[in-house]
Structure 1
Amino acid sequence: MVVSTLVLGGSRGIGLEIASGFARDGSHVFINYAGNDAVAEKAKQRILDEGGHCTLVKADVSTTEGCTAIAHAVARETDRVDQLVHSAVMAYPTTTLGAEPSRFAKAVSVNGLSLLYITQALEGLLIRGSTVFYLTSRGGRTVVENYAAIGVSKALAESLVRYMAVELAPSGIRINCIAPGIVETEAVRAVFGSDAGSIVAQSGDKNPSGRGVQSDDYTELMRFLASPAAEYITGQTFFVNGGANLHA
């Protein structure tokens, strides 16, 4: 039996690291992406080079139609999704009061509401033992400059996770939030611009554990949470940052 993993926003950054982590376990990885075909093909080749199996699924997660299209594409190749990972993000840097309403609404749909859309669309493919992951950040709980469109979306999705955890539990499906420490991704660069590199470096220097986050820190946790050993863990948010969120 081939395990299947669907990663929304899996063609780069943290999403790609997670896709790679599950692929090394023998999972057939479905990588969803929105626009850049060249980047997606490069991501697929990385998975193949590492000995994994990969299918690219191009679709807009911000709409129910897009999420339905993703579900149909996955269903053509498998009858189950063992891991669903939501790491898609629209990095619209803005304050709340200075936001353009249509762009803000789009960001909330991509970054937050799509978690609900894709879970609904995968009904029948998510089965007992399946695990859903949502990638969140401290910006969903604390105010970060120019991070409003992402932070509000993360807060919305974290609330969705709690409600959905209760509703999915009778079916044996778990859902949890993973909040890795800051890494220099395209989304981080979009929000913080030329300061992104120094912010990430300073975060590592100031971390109580003496370094910044590494991909194994969160992928190993997710592999455990997806295992039968974690079948009683759901509706939680796990900060993977060496204790950085514990500072006043």
Structure 2
Amino acid sequence: MIDYFMTLDPILQAAIATIFTWGMTALGAALVFTTKGVNQRFMDGMLGFAGGVMIAASFWSLLSPALEKAEGGPVPVWLPAAIGFLLGGIFLWGSDKLLPHLHPGLNMDQAEGINPERKRRSTLLVLAITLHNIPEGLAVGVAFGAIAADLPAASLGGAIALAVGIGIQNFPEGLAVSMPLRREGMARKKSFFYGQMSGIVEPIAGIIGALAVTVMQPLLPYALSFAAGAMIFVVAEEVIPGSQENGNKDLASMSVMVGFTIMMILDVALG
């Protein structure tokens, strides 16, 4: 199975990998069929773990290959990575200000973006997680696209590790949408539907990312670091603060360490 996967076009590989990460979101959302509630410590630990995974992936799977790709170019090695990284954060910051959304666990009066009061709570919850999933799908896509560019630092094992790591951290995100909707009285099937829909953007972003760096290879270091900057913004803005706002700071912090370590091992071992 793995041997066959290795023979596929990198764009198709990116599509399959991001369908897997979407599937993990759906799997998390499906817990709404089997349980009435989730322990808050568990959710905070999973959020912290997700933050650690995303931080590690941002460096080993994205920034490090970006720096290597920029070697021998017309500009200093650090410049494309620095520009792309900051642009990724600015893009997410701007999207956060414009797109109406509501983070799980908050009241409607705490919704963000333009005219959030005109949207239903379910829509706002889905948009919040969708906003986070855009850089994740993009990261997987550009990682597989980097393989097509024959970048030495980019490997199929590393790209697969990135997809696996993001898939693991997507599991609690689906649940974070479906469970609050169920608690508010929404039917289980409808709660599941909204929960899994938050991950549908990942295959779209993944294919776009892989296509972009395959067609325009000079943009590869910028694209890799852009995805890294977008993910780090999400971690700093929402993931880690959200994991600690319920008082489970020690658990969340240690979970960040565990997530970072596991993602580092996956990337280095498979890469």
Flag the structure with higher strand content.
1
Which protein is bigger by CA-based radius of gyration? 2
- Please give the range of the TM-score, normalised by the shorter of the 2 chains: 0.3 to 0.5
Higher RCO (CA-CA < 8 Å; seq separation 6+): 2
TM-score when normalising by structure 1 = 0.33
Flag the structure with higher helix content.
2
TM-score when normalising by structure 2 = 0.31
